[in-house]
Amino acid sequence: MPQRHPLLTAADGWADANAGLLAACFKRFEAEVSWPTLEDLQRDFELAEQDVDVAATAWKMPQALGFVENARLVLLVRGLSNVPAAGPLLEDWRTVLHVAYQRWRDDSQARLTYDDVLDLMGRDRLRADSLSVLLERERWAFGSGVGGPMEWSYEIASGVRAARSAKSAADVIAARNAIEFPASENPEAAAIAAAEPRGAETPAADAWRVITHLLHAPTQYLRREGKSVGDLIVIGVVATAIGSVAAAVVLLTLGVGGVGGVGEGSGGSTSTPTNTARPSQRTGSEKQAIVTARPGDGRDPKQSGCAPPANDVAGTKVPLAGHGLSFGSLVLRHSPACNTAWGMVRGLGPEEKLRLVIIANRPHDYATTGYAQFGKFNVEGVNGNELSQARGCVRAIAVIEHNGAKLASAKTPCR
C-alpha cells in the first residue's frame, strides 16, 4: 500500500512539536501583513516568558512548511494549515484559486490581478493584501507576472487545476501534495526523510538560500527593506532562474551589504558589470543563472575551451553528503589558460532522479553563477559554470535536491 511521503510525515511531526511558533508567526503576519523577523518572534516569546530558541527552531523547519528568508520566518500554505487561526485566510485562498481555474478553462490567456482579488474579498484590502502575499509565494498556479503591491497581474497557468474540484483549502493542499510529494511504495524512500528537518544553519552560512532569494525574489526584498533603485548597484542581469520553472528575470542585486551571505564578511566591493549573462548553450533540463561582474564569467567551461585542459585545485575536494547519504564529491577545477575556476561533481550515476545545483562564487565582488541539472548525469563528472580568478578567489557550492528538499550540500575552500 502506498505510504505517505516521508517528508510530509517529518513535516507533520515538526509542526506538532512547534505549534506555538507557527501560531506566533501567523499572529504577527495577520497584524502586519508581512512575515515577522526572527528577532520579533524571539521577543514575543520572551515577553510571554516562554523559553524558545526561535532562530535554531526556525532554521530546522521542513521546507514543505516554510523557510527563513532574510531573517524572517515565511510560512507556506502547508505551514499555515497547522494554524487554526489561519483557516479563514486559507479558505479565501482556495476561493481565489477556484475562480482562477474557471477563468483558465474559459480563456487560455486569462490573468488574475490584485483588483480581482480585492473584488472577491468585498473590497477588504487587509484580506486582499494578505492573499497577495500567499499567492506570491505559491506561484505554481501562475506564469509570468508584472507590477507590484496593489497592482500586480499574473498569467494563470495549468497548475491551477489543483483547485478545480477542491471544496476546501485542505483539498487544494492535498492535490499539491500528490504532485510534489507523491506517496511511495519504495521502502528506501524513508531515507529521504533524513533531508528534513535540516540541521542548524545561518543565513551567512547557507549561500544557496541567498542565491535562491536573489534569483526569485529581488523585488520583494526591495519592498521589505525599504530600498529604492537609487540605493542599489544595478547589476542588470537577464538569467534563467534556477527552479522548477525556467523564467527569464532581470535581477537587481544589492550593494555591499545586500549579499553578505554570499561573500565572506561584510567588507569588499561591488563593481558594475562589464557584461551580461549569455543564455546557456546546454540543452535538456540544464539551466543556468548568473550575477556577474567580469568578462568571461558564467560560461560553460567546455564550450569556452577552458576545459580541457584543466586540473583539480589541490585541497578543494570535499564529500557531497548529508544525513547519512553520499552523492560523490565536489571539487574546484582550474584552467591555467583561461584563469577561471568552476565546481565539478563526480560520483552521480546517469539514472539517478535527483536535481543537482552547482554554484561558483567570487567573494571579492560577489559575482555568482549557477548551473542546474536534473538526472542524466555524466559519469565522468558534471561541470558548473566558470568564474574568472583574475579579481579574486573562487569557491564552489553544490546542492543535491529531491522533490524540492535539500538532501546534501558541500562547499569548497576559496582558491
Residue 364: which of 247, 232, 228, 264 has the closest Cα? 264
Question: Whole domain around residue 268: which residue ranges?
Answer: 207-411
Q: Which residues pair with 291 in a beta bridge?
A: 368
Q: What integer pLDDT is reported at residue 223 of this predicted model? A: 41
Measure CA 304 to chain center. Answer: 29
In contact, 59 and 201? CB cutoff 8 Å: yes
Q: Is residue 301 part of a domain?
A: yes
Assess if residue 264 is contained within a domain.
yes
pLDDT per residue of the chain (415 residues) written in tens, 0 to 9: 567 888 898 999 999 999 999 999 999 999 999 999 999 999 999 999 999 999 999 988 988 999 888 889 999 999 999 999 999 999 999 999 999 999 999 998 999 999 999 999 999 999 999 999 999 888 889 988 887 777 899 999 999 999 999 999 999 999 999 988 887 554 343 443 333 333 333 333 344 444 444 443 344 444 444 444 343 333 333 333 333 333 333 333 333 223 323 332 222 222 223 333 333 345 444 444 444 445 568 888 888 888 777 889 888 888 888 777 788 899 999 988 888 899 999 988 776 678 899 999 888 777 888 888 888 888 789 999 999 888 789 999 999 887 777 788 899 999 8
> What was the pLDDT predicted at 87?
97
What single letter denotes the amino acid at residue 407?
L
Residues in the chain: 415
In order of 120, 151, 154, 216, the CA distances from 157 in angstroms are: 20, 19, 9, 18
Kindly state whether residue 173 falls inside one of the protein's structural domains.
Answer: no
Residue 81 located in a structural domain: no
SS3 (DSSP) at 3: strand
Residue 62 maps to a domain: no
Residue 329 located in a structural domain: yes
Q: Is residue 90 part of a domain?
A: no
Could you tell me if 58 and 20 are in contact, meaning their C-beta atoms sit under 8 angstroms apart? no
Residue with cell 484559486: 97
Nearest-5° angle of CA 176, CA 179, CA 182? 115
| In a domain? residue 57 | no
What cell was used for 362? 567570487
Cβ atoms of residues 313 and 333 within 8 Å: yes
Copy the grid coordinates of residue 170. Answer: 485542505
Reading the block at residue 303, the C-alpha cell is 564550450
| Overall number of domains in the chain | 1
What secondary structure letter does DSSP report for 107? -
Alpha carbons within 13 A on the beta-carbon side of 64: 29
